[in-house]
Amino acid sequence: MSAKRSLPKVGLPLLGGCTGVAKEARPPKGRTPIPEHRPTHFRLPTRGAAAPLAPLASHLRHSHAAFTLVEVLIAVAIFAMTSTVLMSAFVNALLARESAANYDLFNADIRAVRMQLLLEPSLDDAEDGGDYESFHCGDASWEAQIAPTNVVDLFQVQLYIRFSDPPEGLPSDYSEMLYLLRPTWSESDERSDLLQDKREALEDSRGGFNF
Report yes or no: 144 and 127 within 8 Å, Cβ to Cβ. Answer: yes
**32 vs 50: CA distance, rounded Å:** 47
**189 vs 180: CA distance, rounded Å:** 20
pLDDT at 200: 75
**67 vs 65: CA distance, rounded Å:** 7
Phi first, then psi, for residue 40 (nearest 5°) are -95, 130
Per-residue pLDDT of the chain (211 residues; tens, 9 = 90+): 444 455 455 444 444 444 444 455 565 555 555 555 555 554 555 555 445 555 555 555 555 567 899 999 999 999 999 999 999 999 999 988 988 999 999 999 999 999 999 999 999 999 999 999 998 899 999 999 999 888 888 999 999 999 999 988 889 999 999 999 888 888 777 777 777 777 777 777 776 555 5
**165 vs 139: CA distance, rounded Å:** 7
Phi first, then psi, for residue 80 (nearest 5°) are -65, -45
Phi first, then psi, for residue 51 (nearest 5°) are -65, -40
Q: Strands (DSSP E) along the chain, which ranges?
A: 11-13, 19-21, 130-133, 139-148, 154-163, 173-181
7 in helix, strand or coil? coil
pLDDT at 33: 58
pLDDT at 15: 45
